[in-house]
Amino acid sequence: MIRLRNIIYLILLIFIFPFLILCAEVPITHRKSLQLLPQSQILALSLNQYSQIIKKSKLCEDPKKLAMVKRVGMRIARATEEFLREEYPRQDRKFEWEFNLIEDDKVINAWALPGGKVAVYTGILPIARDDNGLAVVLGHEIGHVIANHGNERMSQALLTTMGGLTLSVALSKKSKKTRDIFLAAYGIGATVGFMLPYSRLQENEADRIGLILMAKAGYDPREALNFWLRMKKRGGKGKKIPEFLSTHPATETRIQNIKRLIPEALPYYLKARKG
């Protein structure tokens, strides 16, 4: 009965209330994605949840590790803003960048939220190894953000679990269920206990955008292959799957796809090197 009701809600949204459906364009791929949540509400949730997570977390005080996260993060951030200004000048994107390193060697994860709030867990640093490896991680996560994948996944999840006609109520009340769906949609599974896996399409988009962002920031996009090979090895048979792989499956198909994407990103890297 509940499933039937949700189907009816979805039909109403698509055919009777089309003005509620926001079809945003994904950068580079130009795919139109369903995004029901106003950006203002997404940003409000982002700031609120980020503040809570940071307050509850133990932040890493190792100056060398923290400096690397902030150094690479700000380079990717500047490249992201420059890319959006050049390619999408009509879009109003506002960022207040903040990069934090959470002390937890058991958590192999990183995430980026709308508005520029980004966190890296110390557990992923041994796999990243250096600035280039970390640039792969941050470029990919920020790629998900500028593609608005979180809004897309959260819209789908809220429709499925709460029904379209209660969407505005769920957002206005900011219930625990709504907050949990938000966190899960942005890959913060260590906090909510579950994650919403990205689709293959979204993963390919984030890979493609992330490679261009890191290349534009002056990091070699070819290093992405080495990073994902290390991640694949870390998530091998008999080992606990890292959180990063729970939403970002590093399969051989994916690695082959990255090989095909590198030539597109390489000119950005060569231009950044000359500059």
Predicted confidence (pLDDT) per residue in 238-254, tens digit: 456 565 665 555 678 88
> If you ran DSSP here, which 8-state letter would residue 21 be given?
-
Is-catalytic flag, 141? yes
Lowest mean pLDDT among 16-25, 31-40, 41-50, 133-142: 16-25
Q: pTM for the complete prediction?
A: 0.82
Axis-axis angle for helices 39-56, 149-162 (nearest 10): 90
**Residue % of the chain over a pLDDT of 90:** 48
Query: Above 60 in pLDDT, residue 193?
Result: no
- β-pairing, 22-25 vs 32-35, is antiparallel
- Asked whether residue 76 carries a pLDDT value surpassing 70, the answer given is yes
Q: Report residue 83 as tokens.
A: 């890319």
Write out the two tokens for 248: 């970002």
Which of these is catalytic: 61, 87, 96, 141?
141
Phi-psi map region of 108: left, alpha, beta (phi>0 left; psi -120 to 50 alpha) = beta
Binning pLDDT at 50, 70 and 90, where does residue 56 land? Answer: very high
